[in-house]
Amino acid sequence: MAQILIVDDDHQLRMSFERLLAAEGFEVRTASSGEAGIAAVREEAPDVVIMDVRMPGISGLEAYAAMREIEPRLPVIIMTAYGTTDIAIEATKMGAFDYILKPFDIPDILKLIDKAIAAGRSMRSRVAVGEEGEQALAADAIIGRSPAMQELYKAIGRAAPTDATVLIRGESGTGKELVARAVYQHSLRADKPFLVINCVAIPETLLESELFGYEKGAFTGATGRKVGKIEQANHGTVFLDEIGDMPLPIQAKILRLLQEQNVERLGGRQVIPVDVRIIAATNRDLEEAVRRGQFREDLYYRLKVVSLTLPPLRERPSDIPLLVRYFMARYGREMSQPDPGVSEAAMALFTANPWPGNVRELGNTVKKAFIFNRGAPLGPDEVQKATGEPLRNGDLAALTTGDALADFVRRQLGSGRESLFEELMDHFGQLVIREALEATGGNRTQASKLLGLSRPTLIAKIEKYGLRIESRVRDSRS
């Protein structure tokens, strides 16, 4: 369960926050002053701090500086009124996670808290590289003994202590973000910010302002100055995930950042020096993208100073039993259930599968099989059910093979509906999310992990599809 520290001199606000966040499944601590907040962090570092700027005694800015000395990677969200936004912006430039204006909407603060928890976990949760047993279970882990993985471990060790730009390549689901975190955690910047930007998850119209920030009046709705993530991560590391899908105009700005180590906010003329290390990742063929004019050649060569490649599972089948045993032990610990083990026949099925979704698909399949397991070692029937259970949703009930699914789609293509693509994507999306919720007893946190979605994204889709599945398990945020 994630722990939130609220620091504010307003007793009523602290109590309101405590009730709201406790109802959301968080553990909440409170402090009435900056001094008390510093003492609380020193006693036990929370997952996130939410702190007011103006309080009796030391200011929120001074309190943040002291907290950063105690725990440099602690995400801190600053609360501020319109009249004190300059102070909040200064705190963000110092490395605070973000700020939010009072009064704020509850959905906005909850989304921001979820993002801060994820960011804090990326910075503080250790990635075990090439370890097994209890060492690996105590952290996220990169598992494998194959020659390709052994070469990867060596490359991480050589690249991490330098400031070289790193390009991580591999298919979807191979674990590129884990490698990025491992490089960061073994680098000389490990006590500085680590910010993750997914270049395809943020709309193109917002990506530039997210990265570089903006000045008041830069565009409609820019009512004040906003510090960008790159400036916020000064002296730290920025991970640009799926950089192969970054729009060309923003690629030019990233190239300038790498060449000159400075940025300009949207609508501003001030050149702002920054000292950040860039780690990038992509599942695209960048060489082909360069030939097609979809990716800048000069940026490509700037990024691949160090290039790390993650092999797909089909090229390292000898690592699959290690991964299956790791996931079984891990999920057993997470669900407080004994690890039942895996039969030889089931393991043979796991190993024979090509796993186009790679480690992510394998992990989700093991988790699904574990959820439906009744205590005996996993058998081939449970593996087959987890990998190929028939879909259940109206016309989709009979779709048990790829050919049948293709036939269904072809029938729909003849309907002539203009919005067919969106309708089909919503249809399948609703089915997948419903199955995940049913599999986890309605627990949204577990369902989001099963699907590889962030919790806010899952909640937004549940609301969009109007899904109503009663939770049979407390929705823990741990």
d(C-alpha 29, C-alpha 433), whole Å: 33
Closest CA to 253 of 271, 239, 233: 271
Q: Dihedrals φ, ψ of 25, to 5°?
A: 95, 10
pTM here?
A: 0.75
Contact 326, 137 (CB under 8 A): yes
For the segment 18-47, the average pLDDT, to the nearest whole number, is 93
Please classify residue 380 by burial: count the beta carbons closer than 10 Å to its beta carbon, then call 0-12 exposed, 13-18 middle and 19+ buried: middle
- Residue 397, pLDDT score: 38
For the segment 384-406, the average pLDDT, to the nearest whole number, is 50
Confidence check: pLDDT of 400 > 80: no
- Residue 346, pLDDT score: 87
d(C-alpha 416, C-alpha 395), whole Å: 18
For the segment 399-418, the average pLDDT, to the nearest whole number, is 57
Q: Dihedrals φ, ψ of 12, to 5°?
A: -65, -40
Q: Per-residue confidence at 48, pLDDT binned at 50, 70, 90?
A: very high
- Residue 476, pLDDT score: 43
Which residues lie across from 216 on neighbouring strands?
none
152's tokens: 């990867």
Give the mean pLDDT of the chain.
Answer: 85
- Residue 477, pLDDT score: 46
Q: Per-residue confidence at 410, pLDDT binned at 50, 70, 90?
A: low
% of residues, the chain, pLDDT over 90: 48
Element (H, E) at 435: helix 420-439
Q: Dihedrals φ, ψ of 349, to 5°?
A: -65, -45
For the segment 271-292, the average pLDDT, to the nearest whole number, is 95
Contact 290, 297 (CB under 8 A): yes
The residue with greater pLDDT, 218 or 397, is 218
Concatenate the DSSP letters of all residues of 355-378 into one string: -TTHHHHHHHHHHHHHHH--SSPB
**pLDDT tens, residue by residue, 197-215:** 999 888 888 899 999 999 8
Q: How far apart are the first and last CA of the chain?
A: 3
Confidence check: pLDDT of 169 > 60: yes
Q: Per-residue confidence at 46, pLDDT binned at 50, 70, 90?
A: very high
Domain spanning 129-311: which CATH class is it, in words?
A: alpha beta
Please classify residue 133 by burial: count the beta carbons closer than 10 Å to its beta carbon, then call 0-12 exposed, 13-18 middle and 19+ buried: exposed
Closest CA to 143 of 194, 190, 179: 179
**pLDDT tens, residue by residue, 278-287:** 999 999 999 9
- What is the residue type of 129? V
* CATH 3.40.50.1240 matches 3-124: no
d(C-alpha 471, C-alpha 138), whole Å: 28
Pick the CATH number of 315-465 from 1.20.1200.10, 3.40.630.30, 3.40.50.720, 1.10.8.60: 1.10.8.60
Contact 28, 52 (CB under 8 A): no
Domain ranges of the chain: 3-124, 129-311, 315-465
Contact 25, 455 (CB under 8 A): no
Most confident of 38-42, 110-114, 458-462: 38-42
Concatenate the DSSP letters of all residues of 187-249 into one string: STTTTS-EEEEETTTS-HHHHHHHHHEE-TTSSTT--S-EE-HHHHTTTSEEEEETGGGS-HH
Name the least confident of 13-27, 246-260, 419-433. 419-433
Q: Are 3-124 and 129-311 equal in CATH topology?
A: yes
**pLDDT tens, residue by residue, 334-389:** 888 888 889 888 898 899 888 999 999 999 999 888 887 767 788 888 888 888 64
- Residue 209, pLDDT score: 92
Closest CA to 102 of 127, 81, 83: 81
Closest CA to 31 of 23, 20, 396, 44: 44
Q: Per-residue confidence at 135, pLDDT binned at 50, 70, 90?
A: low
